[in-house]
Amino acid sequence: MTYSGERILLSSQREGQVSRFHKWVFLVVPLMAILFQVYVPMFFPFLSFLEMPLLVVVYFAIMRRSQISGLMVGALVGLAQDSLSKNPLGMFGIVKTLVGYFAASVGVRLDVEHGLIRLLLGFFFYLFHQFLYWVMSRALLGQQMTFDWSRTAVLAALNAVVGVALFRMLDKLKERS
Amino acid sequence: MESLLNRYRNITVLLLVIMGQLVLLAVSAKNDLDVRFIRIWTVTAVTPVARIIEGLRGGGTGFLHNYILLHDTNQENQRLRSELDRMKMENVFLKNELNTADRAKALQVFQQHTPSRTVAATIIATGAGSSSKVVFVDRGTVSGVQRGMPVVTPDGIVGKVIAAYPTASQVLLITDPDFAAGVVTQKSQVHGTLKGQGTPQCKVDYVAFEEKVEPGEWVYTSGDDRIFPRGFPVGIVKAVRPAQPFKEILVEPSGLQRGLVEDVLILIEGVHQPIPDAPPGMQPIYVAAPPPGNDSTPAPATPAPLGTEADRLRSQYRALGEEQKHTFGENPPGAKPVDFTRLGNSGAAGQTPAAGRNPDAGKNSPPPPGALPVAPPVAPPKTGTGGPAPAPDKNAPPPAGTPAIHPPDAARRAIQPAGTPPGGQPR
């Protein structure tokens, strides 16, 4: 294995290449992710565990390596998700804003092209997303929800695996320099 | 100053965006004043695409089945299947008819006969979030749908509209923890509040522990909530556990017993109905009279005596007396009196119209005393020695006096109003 293949930490920000996308990608991909979440579980209920909007937010955040861009994508996708749920507007929005911000912050320092890194990021940010949502539901809305760590960890692993494949597909939409 | 702003630019933007959304959240959560235009934009952007995808999926599936995959075999299969269905119809006409009536037909019939004004809708998407118990239907304010309107199927209530947009509406399902509706039990008329739990079963709350509620009892809407009209089936009591101060009652919703349905009805104008005396599965079904000149039908039942209730009773007693060779008013002292305990068993005395012959009587009132009891599905007796029984006409309705057949799982069909013509073609 070569040196660059093993290295997962970037020594400087300049080493991390900022990926660029066509503008339509920022519109179509989140829309498709939201459509996937509201439409596909009607026919395949077992796929309802997939948090496609979250994976898309994480992808754009880590690939753009811009915290402002990441949090904006997170906020917009989260608000769209809120609009299609029965929650008050802002629940998913705040959670995904933070996810986008932190994913971009982490993406600056890591080699986000690395498959293992993507897997770990998908796992961690799913856990973070679910935990933060649970905290906000209890704290802001007063809902008595339970947080099942073991179940969430399993779902995080499944989402991470799907995320790796999804990120590979989304890589094809990058603008060629 | 400028360098300071540049240095903390990211965190500043983050805080501003978070603060903005917190304000949004506070406004919509505390005052129940939703920022509606954001939802309208999103729903208007998403639902047309979902509708197109659903149309493409339906068309693609049909094309695949009818033209690509086994074109001839599919037609042959349909022909054989319909022939098999026709053969079955000769033996168990009603049972087959009810079992093969498809959901859309039942929905249409239900829509035609329910006194409430309804609009049919199709579920086109589920709500966002993995634990979501909301769905989107393809009818919105353009079709007259408003927030708060009930959503039902012939099986029972499904949910209520919590948001109406121009082209679609959001429906909160009965299983959502935020759902609540006023209900009443059928037998004991105990009122309570139905609540979703996020699981397939709902619970009925606020029923005092001394009230008598039994498993298997049907639960109907009470109309107390001013959302659901009275008299719509809700579900069956599955478990009753004693608790203080209220009983713990679990109900299996009949509207979702086959999973998430595809077609629903939105009640534009709900009309209260009486709570049926019999469970939906035991309600009589209208059976049409036999066609004239059909020799295979049994002798028609003796027509009910006309007149008042007293006239009817008098004819019953007279028939009982004749059966026991007793003429009222003309017997010598010491003669054996009439055994009135046989009144219920007497064939002559029990001659009343079959249950459900009168559509109106079957719909809103219990069967008259002495009416034929509603029986479970009965296959025709196999005549092994008496030669083949005369085969009825394939398309003829069942003979008069045929007891109403109720498959155990035919609750939704049983709530079809009396007078409903047998519908649906064999698949």
Dump pLDDT digits (tens) for A18-64.
778 888 898 899 989 998 888 888 888 888 889 999 999 999 999 98
Would you state the torsion angle of the CA atoms of residues B388, B394, B396, B397, taken in this order, to the nearest 10 degrees? 80
Question: Mind telling me how many Å the CA of B88 is from chain A's nearest CA?
Answer: 32
Q: Do B178 and A86 touch (CB under 8 A)?
A: yes
- Candidates A34, A89, A151: best to mutate against B (most CBs of B within 10 A) is A89
Chain A residue numbers with beta carbons less than 8 Å from the beta carbon of B176 are 86
Question: Mind telling me how many Å the CA of A170 is from chain B's nearest CA?
Answer: 21
Chain A residue numbers with beta carbons less than 8 Å from the beta carbon of B168 are none
Dump pLDDT digits (tens) for B263-293.
888 988 877 777 776 665 544 444 455 566 5
Q: Which of the four CATH numbers 1.10.1760, 3.40.1010, 3.30.360, 3.30.10 does domain A17-171 have?
A: 1.10.1760
Q: Per the structure block, which two tokens stand in for A144?
A: 């008595």
Q: Please, what is the Cα angle at B241 between B236 and B242, to 5 degrees?
A: 135
Closest chain A CA to residue B169? A84
Question: Mind telling me how many Å the CA of B154 is from chain A's nearest CA?
Answer: 21
Q: How would you label B118-140 residue by residue, b for 16+ Cβ within 10 Å and e otherwise?
A: bbbbebbbbbbbeebbbbbbbbb
Q: Per the structure block, which two tokens stand in for A145?
A: 């929800």
Identify residue B126 by its one-letter amino acid code. T
Q: Do A90 and B24 touch (CB under 8 A)?
A: yes
CB A125 within 8 A of CB A54: yes
CB B235 within 8 A of CB B253: yes
CB A95 within 8 A of CB A132: yes
Q: Do A31 and B162 touch (CB under 8 A)?
A: no
Q: Do B34 and A48 touch (CB under 8 A)?
A: no
Rounded to a whole number, what is the distance in angstroms from the first to the last CA of chain A? 27
CB B294 within 8 A of CB B392: yes
Q: How far apart are CA B315 and CA A177, in angstroms?
A: 100
How far lies A133's CA from each of A138, A147, B66, B211, B281, in Å? 9, 10, 46, 40, 44
Q: How far apart are CA B226 and CA B272, in angstroms?
A: 10
A147 SS3 class: coil
ipTM: 0.80
User: pLDDT confidence of A12, banded at 50, 70, 90?
Assistant: low
Mean pLDDT of the region A153-176: 91
- Tell me the domain boundaries of chain B: 116-272
B398 SS3 class: coil
Assigned CATH topology for domain B116-272: Thrombin, subunit H (2.40.10)
Q: Per the structure block, which two tokens stand in for B228?
A: 């659901």
- Assign residue B64 a region (left: φ > 0; alpha: ψ between -120 and 50; beta: otherwise): alpha
Question: Mind telling me how many Å the CA of A20 is from chain B's nearest CA?
Answer: 20
B243 SS3 class: coil
A-B C-beta contacts closer than 8 Å: 119
Kindly report the average pLDDT of chain B as a whole number: 71
Query: Does the beta carbon of B65 lie under 8 angstroms from any beta carbon of chain A?
Result: no
Cα torsion B270, B265, B220, B406: sign = positive
Q: What stretches of B18-168 adopt beta strand conformation (E)?
A: 117-126, 134-137, 150-152, 157-164
Q: How far apart are CA B181 and CA B267, in angstroms?
A: 15
Rounded to a whole number, what is the distance in angstroms from the first to the last CA of chain B? 77
- Tell me the domain boundaries of chain A: 17-171
* DSSP state letter for B51: H
* Residue from the list A53, A80, A89 with its beta carbon closest to the beta carbon of B28: A89
Least Cα distance to B108 among B95, B118, B93, B98 occurs for B118
Q: Per the structure block, which two tokens stand in for A60?
A: 């754009």
Per-residue pLDDT of chain B (427 residues; tens, 9 = 90+): 667 667 788 888 999 999 998 888 888 776 665 667 778 888 888 888 878 888 888 888 877 777 776 667 777 888 888 888 777 666 656 554 555 455 666 677 777 777 778 888 888 888 876 666 889 998 999 989 999 999 998 888 999 999 999 989 999 999 888 899 999 998 888 999 999 988 888 999 998 888 888 899 999 999 888 889 888 899 999 999 887 788 889 999 988 876 767 788 898 887 777 777 666 554 444 445 556 655 444 444 444 445 566 777 777 777 877 777 777 766 666 667 777 777 655 444 444 333 333 334 334 433 333 333 333 333 333 333 333 334 444 444 444 333 333 333 343 333 333 333 333 333 3
